[in-house]
C-alpha cells in the first residue's frame, strides 16, 4: 500500500501519487446539494430569509474560526471587518457612478474588509493571547464610537439603507425575490467555504496551526509568528467583509450595530458553541446561532438567558463544542460500539431533557412574573394556562428539576464509566492498528 513504490523500481523518483480522495469529493458534493435543495425542503414562511441569514453567518463564523480555531487568536472585534465591509458594499450599491453588479458586491465588501485588516491587523496582531483579545475589544469600541461621530458615512443611528434591485436584469435575475438572494448567498458560501478549507491546507495554514500550538518553537525555526498572524487576519477579514456585504444585500440596511462589540461577541459565542476544533464547527454554530437569535426570540423573551446558559454549559462541559460531541459519537459508531452505550445514553439524555424542560418551564414562569407582570399573572405555556401567583406551577417546576437531578445522578456515573471503557477500547484498537 505504499504508493511511491508501486512502480517496482528501487529508486522511486517522486512520492507524488495521491490516492483519489473519494470521501472529500462526496462531502463537498453533498454540501453543494444541501445548499441547492435547502429552499425546496424548507418552504414555510420566513424559511428563505432564515436560510439566507444562516448562510451569511456561516461565512462570518468560518472566517472567525480562521483566527480562533486555527490560529488561537481570541478576537472580540471581528465585526469590525464584516461591518466595515458591509458599509463599503452598501455605499457601492448606492453610488450612482459605480456599476458593480449586485452579484459581485460581495467582492467590494471583501476588499474593504481586507483593507481594514491590513490597517488594524498591523496593530492587533503585534500581540497574541489575552492581550490580543483586549486590543481587539478596544478596537471594536473605537470603531463603534467613531461610527456615531461620522454620520455622513455611517448614517448615524438610523444606518444606511439601499435597494438591492438595481441595474438591468441579467437573465431575469434582479435579486428582488428572496430565493435569488438565497442562491447568491449560497453560491458565495460554497466558494468561500472551499477557499477557506483550501487555506487550511496551504503552508501558511499549517504554519498558523504551529503558531497556535507552539509559537516559541516556530520562532526558533525562523518564522515570524507575528507575520503569520497578520497574514491570516488579513485573509480572515476578507471573508468577514464578504459576509458583511451579503448581509447588506439581504437586509438592505447597515447600521452602527454591524460594527459593534455585541455583533463581535455573538459570532464568538456561535463559533465556540459549534466547535472551534473542526473546520465545519462554525457551520453548526451558525445554525444554532440563528435558531437562538431569530427563531427562539419569536417565542420567548428569555432567549438571551437561554443562549448564555447554553454557551456556559458548552464551555463548562464540552469545550470542544457541538461538533466535537458529534465526532466523538461518530467515532464510537465507526468502531461498532454504539450498541453498547445506546441504552445508558438514552437514559442520561432523557433525564437531561426532562430537567431542561423543567428549567425552561421555571424560567418562563419567572419571566412572566417579573417582566410581564402588567399582563396579569396567567401565562400560557406548552398549550396550558398557569397562574404564576399560585404555588402549583412553582412546585411542579421544583419537582421536575429535582426528579431530573436525581435521575441524572443515578444514570450518569454508569454511563460515564461505560463511555470511558468504550473509548479506551477504541484507543487500544487504534494502537493495535498503528503498531
Partner 1 sequence: MEFTLFTLLNGVSYGLLLFMLSSGLTLIFSMMGVLNFAHASFYMLGAYVAYAISARLGFWPALVLAPLVVGLAGALVERYGLRPLHKFGHIPELLFTFGLSYLMVELVQLVWGRAAVAYPIPQELDRPLFTLFATSFPMYRGFMMLVALSMLAAIWLVLTRSRLGLVIQAALTHPEAVEALGHNVPRIFMWVFGGGCALAGLAGVIGGNAFVTEPGMAATVGTIIFVVVVVGGMGSLAGAFVASILIGVLQTFAVALDYSLMTLLNWTGAGITAATPGYSLLKVTVAQSAPILPFLLLVLILIFRPKGLMGVRE
Residues that bind partner 1 (CB under 8 A): 72, 74, 123, 126-127, 129-131, 133-135, 137-139, 141-142, 145-146, 148-150, 152-153, 261, 265, 268-269, 272, 302, 304-305, 307-309, 311-312, 315-316, 319, 366-367, 370-371
Nearer to partner 1, 187 or 265 (CB): 265
Nearer to partner 1, 175 or 272 (CB): 272
Nearer to partner 1, 301 or 414 (CB): 301
Count the Cβ atoms, other than its own, within 10 Å of residue 153. 14
How far apart CA 242 and CA 59 sit, in angstroms, is 8
- Show the cell assigned to 18: 495521491
How far apart CA 33 and CA 27 sit, in angstroms, is 10
Nearer to partner 1, 257 or 425 (CB): 257
Nearest distance from C-beta of residue 264 to partner 1, angstroms: 11
Nearer to partner 1, 214 or 304 (CB): 304
- Show the CA angle centred on residue 215, arms to residues 209 and 219, nearest 5°: 115
Nearer to partner 1, 145 or 194 (CB): 145
173 phi/psi in degrees, rounded to 5: -90, 115
Nearest distance from C-beta of residue 67 to partner 1, angstroms: 12
Nearer to partner 1, 142 or 326 (CB): 142
228 phi/psi in degrees, rounded to 5: -60, -45
Nearer to partner 1, 115 or 344 (CB): 115
Q: Strand, coil or helix: what is 378? A: strand
Q: What is the DSSP letter of 158?
A: T
- Whether 361 and 381 have beta carbons less than 8 Å apart is answered as yes
- Whether 32 and 40 have beta carbons less than 8 Å apart is answered as no
Burial classification of residue 320, based on how many CB atoms lie within 10 Å of its CB (0-12 exposed, 13-18 middle, 19 or more buried): middle
Burial classification of residue 372, based on how many CB atoms lie within 10 Å of its CB (0-12 exposed, 13-18 middle, 19 or more buried): middle
Nearest distance from C-beta of residue 129 to partner 1, angstroms: 7
**DSSP H/E element including 384:** strand 384-387
Q: What is the DSSP letter of 157?
A: T
How far apart CA 18 and CA 30 sit, in angstroms, is 22
Nearer to partner 1, 308 or 413 (CB): 308
* DSSP, residue by residue, 3-45: GGGTT--SS-S--------HHHHHHHHHHHHHHHHHHHH--ST
Nearest distance from C-beta of residue 430 to partner 1, angstroms: 23
Nearest distance from C-beta of residue 231 to partner 1, angstroms: 20
Nearest distance from C-beta of residue 282 to partner 1, angstroms: 15
Nearer to partner 1, 92 or 261 (CB): 261
- Show the cell assigned to 245: 456585504
Cα radius of gyration rounded to whole Å, the chain: 25
Nearer to partner 1, 78 or 164 (CB): 78
Nearest to 55 by CA among 192, 176, 163, 237: 192
* DSSP, residue by residue, 290-346: HIIIIIIHHH-TTHHHHHHHHHHHHHHH-TTHHHHHHHHHHHHHHTT-HHHHHHHHH
Q: Strand, coil or helix: what is 170? A: strand
Nearest distance from C-beta of residue 90 to partner 1, angstroms: 18
Amino acid at each position: 500500500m505504499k504508493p511511491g513504490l508501486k512502480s517496482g523500481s528501487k529508486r522511486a523518483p517522486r512520492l507524488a501519487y495521491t490516492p483519489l480522495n473519494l470521501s472529500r469529493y462526496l462531502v463537498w458534493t453533498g454540501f453543494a446539494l444541501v445548499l441547492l435543495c435547502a429552499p425546496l425542503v424548507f418552504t414555510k414562511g420566513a424559511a428563505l430569509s432564515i436560510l439566507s441569514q444562516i448562510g451569511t453567518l456561516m461565512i462570518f463564523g468560518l472566517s472567525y474560526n480562521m483566527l480562533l480555531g486555527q490560529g488561537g487568536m481570541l478576537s472580540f472585534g471581528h465585526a469590525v471587518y464584516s461591518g466595515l465591509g458591509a458599509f463599503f458594499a452598501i455605499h457601492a450599491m448606492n453610488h450612482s457612478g459605480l456599476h458593480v453588479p449586485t452579484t459581485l458586491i460581495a467582492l467590494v465588501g471583501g476588499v474593504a474588509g481586507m483593507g481594514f485588516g491590513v490597517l488594524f491587523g498591523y496593530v492587533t496582531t503585534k500581540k497574541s493571547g489575552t492581550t490580543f483579545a483586549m486590543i481587539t475589544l478596544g478596537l471594536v469600541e473605537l470603531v463603534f464610537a467613531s461610527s456615531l461621530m461620522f454620520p455622513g458615512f455611517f448614517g448615524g443611528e438610523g444606518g444606511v439603507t439601499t435597494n438591492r434591485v438595481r441595474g438591468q436584469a441579467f437573465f431575469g435575475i434582479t435579486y428582488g425575490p428572496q430565493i435569488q438572494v438565497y442562491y447568491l448567498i449560497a453560491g458565495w458560501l460554497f466558494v468561500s467555504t472551499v477557499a477557506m478549507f483550501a487555506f487550511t491546507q496551504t503552508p501558511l495554514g499549517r504554519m498558523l496551526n504551529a503558531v497556535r500550538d507552539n509559537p516559541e518553537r516556530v520562532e526558533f525555526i525562523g518564522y515570524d509568528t507575528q507575520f503569520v498572524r497578520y497574514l491570516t487576519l488579513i485573509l480572515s477579514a476578507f471573508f468577514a467583509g464578504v459576509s458583511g456585504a451579503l448581509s447588506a444585500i439581504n437586509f438592505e440596511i447597515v447600521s452602527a450595530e454591524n460594527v459593534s462589540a455585541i455583533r463581535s461577541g455573538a459570532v464568538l459565542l456561535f463559533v465556540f458553541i459549534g466547535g472551534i476544533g473542526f473546520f465545519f464547527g462554525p457551520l453548526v454554530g451558525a445554525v444554532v446561532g440563528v435558531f437562538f437569535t431569530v427563531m427562539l426570540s419569536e417565542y420567548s423573551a428569555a432567549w438571551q438567558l437561554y443562549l448564555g446558559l447554553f454557551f456556559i454549559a458548552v464551555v463548562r462541559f464540552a469545550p470542544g463544542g457541538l461538533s466535537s460531541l458529534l465526532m466523538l459519537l461518530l467515532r464510537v459508531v465507526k468502531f461498532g460500539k454504539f450498541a453498547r452505550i445506546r441504552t445508558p445514553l438514552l437514559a442520561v439524555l432523557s433525564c437531561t431533557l426532562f430537567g431542561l424542560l423543567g428549567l425552561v418551564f421555571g424560567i418562563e414562569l419567572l419571566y412572566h412574573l417579573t417582566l410581564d407582570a402588567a399582563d396579569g399573572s396567567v401565562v400560557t405555556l406548552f398549550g396550558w394556562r398557569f397562574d404564576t401567583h399560585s404555588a402549583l406551577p412553582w412546585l411542579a417546576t421544583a419537582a421536575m428539576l429535582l426528579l431530573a437531578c436525581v435521575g441524572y445522578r443515578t444514570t450518569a456515573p454508569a454511563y460515564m464509566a461505560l463511555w470511558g471503557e468504550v473509548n479506551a477500547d477504541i484507543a487500544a484498537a487504534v494502537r493495535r492498528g498503528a503498531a
